[in-house]
Amino acid sequence: MLLSIDQDNRQPIYLQIVRQIKEQILASELTAGDELPSVRELGDALGISLHTARSAYQVLSEEGFLRVRLGKKARIADRPTDEGTTDFTDEFSSRLRELVVDGLLQGSSPAELHERMDREIEALEARSSGKDAS
């Protein structure tokens, strides 16, 4: 598992970690049952606080991407089944709406937002299929 922190990114560090782990799951670089570093190991490796590392794992656990048991290392969870799809869809729609509103308020046109989303999807699909996404 390779993670990097961008100190210039306005996104909180724990959310950078969450995003990168999700991307690695999507690209099958991390699969169900894979063991992740302990919170302490992650914090030491990235030079971040235990609280920040714990927050990232907590978010991933709450979203169903990690299985966390006291005294054990976190593991990648099995992919979600159709159970809970409605909750995910509602949450996704809400988050997407926030991003669209923010983009429009920052001056992007609807066409620009479509283009950006298409580029991100293509880059993730390319990574997932093992191609270099530029």
The model's pLDDT over 101-127, given as tens digits with 9 standing for 90+, comes to 889 999 999 999 999 999 988 988 888
- Determine contact, residues 133/123, Cβ cutoff 8 Å: yes
pLDDT band at 86 (very low <50, low <70, confident <90, very high): low
Return d(Cα 55, Cα 57) in angstroms, integer. Answer: 5
- pLDDT at 32 exceeding the cut of 60: yes
Q: What is the pTM of this model?
A: 0.71
Strand segments, DSSP code E, in 9-74 are 66-67
The model's pLDDT over 41-78, given as tens digits with 9 standing for 90+, comes to 999 999 999 999 999 999 999 988 999 888 888 999 99
- Determine contact, residues 1/24, Cβ cutoff 8 Å: yes
User: Closest Cα to residue 68, out of 81, 78, 58?
Assistant: 58
